[in-house]
């Protein structure tokens, strides 16, 4: 079974779904969100070699026109990521679903589930299907974190082994969505109602960036379209304040919204029938 580029695996996480979970970050994304909080996961390495010399521990080397990465030598100083001007990372390991699962299962007594994130993890649907079926067999709950560009209805096998999807709804207005991400939102909105209707939507996330996104309309419409399906599976609405930390230089100037504005958005989601709304 094909491998996927794994940026990293966090063994214990308290912020990627219910309970304690291991999180797999896959590399590569098909959107270009202005406020991306981990831009180094966006692209695949083009092996320009710029980052090799700055590595303090010799974890990086250059051979046969490729950057080689030695996981055992890395001290996770992030110097390479800061050097890279291609939104990439040299610290990618190409792992098969079985290899990935082997790293997850070590944590098993302590974790209740696995979340796969990115980048955009649904760029690797076959890998996900295989990984999640291994996880489900081991009794682990499976979530994936997606921007909604995959046509989930075309992947029934993946859906079968996925307990839920945490979906980013960035903007309800197509033109705004395009301005923020370079892509239309038609696929995202289709994914939203499809997943909700199948009881596979776990969480909606909207990042609030004053002056960039139409958060009010987005929260209202997203909540409204999902609320009728809440009896199929509970859905959390997570309203996330933009924070400049980690964001690319050019886009750091956006402001962080204040608490009152965020709570007003939460009230809108509740008024539309969402019961589990959190602001972070």
Partner 1 sequence: MREITMERVNETREKMLDVVKSRTLTHEQKVANMANLADSLLEVLELPEGLDDLLNRDITEGQCICDLCEGHAPLRPRYIVPDYAKFMKEGSKFLELPPPSDLYEALNSLLIFYKHVPSVTNFPVYVGQLDQLLDPFVQDVDEETAHKLIKLFFTHMDRTILDSFSHANIGPVPTKAGEIILDVVGELEDAVPNLTMKVDPALTTDDFILRGVKAALHTAKPSFANHPMFASEFAEGLSAGTDCGNYVIASCYNGLPYGGGSYTLSRLILGNIAKRAENREDFCTKILPEVCDIMARYMDERIRFMVEESGFFENNFLAKEGFIRRDRFSAMFGLVGLAEAVNVLLEKEGKSGQRFGHDEEANALGVRIMDVIRDFNAAHESKYCEISGGHFLLHAQVGIASDIDVSPGTRIPIGEEPVELHDHLQVLQHFHKYFASGTGDIFPIDLTVHRNPDYVLDIIRGAFKENLRYLSFYSADSDVIRITGYLVKRSEIDKLEAEQNVKHDTTALGMGAKHNGKILERKVR
- C-alpha 52/C-alpha 62 separation (Å) is 7
Q: Is the preceding omega at residue 119 within 30 degrees of 0, hence cis?
A: yes
Residue 83 interacting with partner 1 (CB under 8 A): no
Q: Which does 34 bind (CB under 5 to 8 A by kind): ligand SF4, partner 1, none?
A: none
Residue 180 interacting with ligand SF4 (CB under 6 A): no
State the number of binding residues for ligand SF4 (CB under 6 A).
27
Do 71 and 93 form a contact (C-beta atoms < 8 A)?
A: yes
- C-alpha 4/C-alpha 11 separation (Å) is 18
Candidates 24, 59, 196, 201; binder of ligand SF4 (CB under 6 A) is 59
- C-alpha 1/C-alpha 95 separation (Å) is 10
Q: How far is the CB of 28 from partner 1 (least distance, A)?
A: 26
Residue 102 interacting with ligand SF4 (CB under 6 A): no
Do 210 and 177 form a contact (C-beta atoms < 8 A)?
A: no
* Residues between 104 and 123 that touch partner 1 (CB under 8 A): 106-112
- C-alpha 68/C-alpha 63 separation (Å) is 7
Residue 74 interacting with ligand SF4 (CB under 6 A): yes
Q: 3-state class of 74 per DSSP?
A: coil
The interface mask with partner 1, positions 17-36, x = CB under 8 A, is -xxx----------------
Q: How far is the CB of 27 from ligand SF4 (least distance, A)?
A: 10
Residue 15 interacting with partner 1 (CB under 8 A): yes
- C-alpha 263/C-alpha 9 separation (Å) is 33
User: 91 vs 200, which CB is nearer to ligand SF4?
Assistant: 91
Residue 51 interacting with ligand SF4 (CB under 6 A): yes
Do 191 and 173 form a contact (C-beta atoms < 8 A)?
A: no
Residue 83 interacting with ligand SF4 (CB under 6 A): yes
Residue 9 interacting with ligand SF4 (CB under 6 A): no
Q: How far is the CB of 57 from partner 1 (least distance, A)?
A: 15
Q: How far is the CB of 245 from ligand SF4 (least distance, A)?
A: 18
Distant-in-sequence, close-in-space partners of 236: CB < 8 Å, separation ≥ 6: 202, 203, 204, 276, 277, 278
Residue 78 interacting with ligand SF4 (CB under 6 A): yes
Q: How far is the CB of 92 from ligand SF4 (least distance, A)?
A: 8
Q: 3-state class of 166 per DSSP?
A: strand
């Amino acid at each position: 079974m094909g491998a996927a580029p794994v940026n990293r695996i966090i063994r214990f996480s308290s912020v990627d779904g219910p309970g304690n979970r291991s999180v797999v970050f896959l590399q590569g994304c098909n959107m270009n969100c202005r406020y991306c909080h981990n831009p180094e996961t966006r692209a695949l390495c083009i092996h320009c070699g710029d980052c090799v010399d700055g590595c303090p521990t010799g974890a990086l080397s250059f051979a046969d026109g490729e950057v080689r990465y030695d996981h055992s030598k890395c001290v996770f100083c992030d110097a390479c990521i800061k050097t890279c001007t291609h939104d990439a990372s040299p610290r990618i390991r190409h792992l098969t679903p079985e290899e990935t699962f082997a790293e997850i299962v070590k944590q098993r007594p302590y974790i209740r589930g696995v979340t796969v994130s990115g980048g955009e993890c649904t760029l690797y649907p076959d890998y996900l299907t295989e990984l999640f079926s291994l996880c489900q067999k081991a009794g682990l709950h499976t979530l994936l974190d997606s921007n909604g560009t995959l046509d989930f209805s075309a992947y029934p096998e993946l859906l079968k082994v996925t307990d839920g999807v945490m979906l980013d709804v960035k903007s309800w207005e197509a033109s705004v969505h395009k301005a923020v991400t370079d892509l239309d939102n038609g696929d995202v909105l289709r994914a939203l109602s499809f997943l909700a209707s199948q009881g596979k939507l776990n969480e909606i996330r909207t990042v609030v960036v004053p002056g960039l996104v139409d958060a009010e309309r987005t929260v209202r419409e997203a909540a409204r379209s999902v609320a009728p399906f809440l009896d199929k599976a509970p859905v959390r609405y997570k309203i996330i304040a933009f924070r400049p930390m980690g964001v690319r230089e050019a886009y750091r100037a956006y402001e962080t919204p204040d608490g009152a504005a965020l709570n007003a958005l939460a009230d809108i989601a509740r008024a539309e029938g969402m019961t589990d709304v959190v602001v972070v």
